[in-house]
Amino acid sequence: MKLSVSRIFEPKPKSWGLRGDPYLWDELQQVFTTIPLPCTKNSFIHHFEQFFEELTNHSFKTTESMFYVKKYDHGGMSSGGICLIFWRETALPHLITQLEKISMNN
């Protein structure tokens, strides 16, 4: 059985930026099941930015600090909100660290 990059999405963060972030995390984990390990850091970042835009209809490189995605709105304040500060400063660096750990162990 081929291992996929989706493994780096576990465990999930203990805290999030906005309420839409966990739903985006779950969708990213699902789409990364299509990307086999090993995967280089540059390839991962390329796929991450591509999938992020496909799932949210927003570029990861946008100057916005947050935006709204209707499919991630499950009620409550900030529901459906995606916090780019969280993704840039916390989530992506964490995922890259996880990828590097897995790469070292294989």
Each residue's pLDDT expressed in tens, for the chain with a length of 106 residues: 579 999 999 999 999 999 999 999 999 999 999 999 999 999 999 999 999 999 999 999 999 999 999 999 988 777 899 999 999 999 999 999 999 998 877 5
Assess if residue 106 is contained within a domain: no
Assess if residue 28 is contained within a domain: yes
Are 39 and 33 contacting, i.e. CB atoms less than 8 angstroms apart? no
Q: What is the DSSP letter of 77?
A: T
Give the residue numbers spanning the domain of 32: 5-99
pTM: 0.93
User: How confident is the model at residue 2, as a pLDDT?
Assistant: 74
Assess if residue 59 is contained within a domain: yes
Assess if residue 52 is contained within a domain: yes
Query: Number of structural domains, the chain?
Result: 1
Assess if residue 25 is contained within a domain: yes
Assess if residue 104 is contained within a domain: no
Assess if residue 79 is contained within a domain: yes
Assess if residue 85 is contained within a domain: yes
